[in-house]
């Protein structure tokens, strides 16, 4: 059962990452691995922020829309950092 959970996380992370990239303005040059990681990390960010604000209970995962918002936040930070570090070199 543990292997199915990992596959499920990767697939959902990919879908969330794709949706966040579709919503985010401008062109993004990110591969499939970055998209999957973006979706997974975005879901964790949304869960953490939601729990901190009292929207979710401890250990409760963020919902679908919350995960997209979390992925958008992670995407914005990622591209900001990418521009910052590639500009200086």
Q: What is the pLDDT of residue 1?
A: 46
C-alpha 51/C-alpha 49 separation (Å) is: 5
Number of domains in the chain: 1
Q: Residue 14 belongs to what domain range?
A: 2-88
Q: What is the pLDDT of residue 8?
A: 76
Judge whether 61 and 43 are in contact, CB under 8 Å.
Answer: yes
Tell me which residue has tokens 């919503």. Answer: 23
DSSP 11: H
Kind and range of the H or E run holding 70: helix 64-88
| Secondary structure (3-state) at 24 | coil
Q: What is the pLDDT of residue 13?
A: 84
pLDDT tens string, the chain, 89 residues long: the values are 466 677 777 888 888 888 888 888 777 777 788 888 888 888 888 888 888 888 877 777 778 888 888 888 888 898 888 888 886 55
The separation between the first and the last C-alpha atoms of the chain, rounded to the nearest angstrom, is: 46
């Amino acid at each position: 059962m543990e292997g199915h959970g990992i596959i499920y996380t990767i697939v959902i992370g990919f879908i969330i990452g794709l949706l966040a990239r579709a919503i985010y303005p401008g062109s993004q040059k990110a591969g499939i691995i970055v998209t999957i990681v973006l979706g997974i990390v975005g879901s964790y960010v949304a869960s953490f922020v939601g729990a901190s604000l009292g929207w979710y209970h401890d250990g409760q995962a963020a919902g679908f829309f919350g995960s997209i918002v979390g992925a958008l936040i992670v995407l914005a930070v990622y591209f900001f950092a990418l521009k910052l570090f590639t500009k200086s070199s």
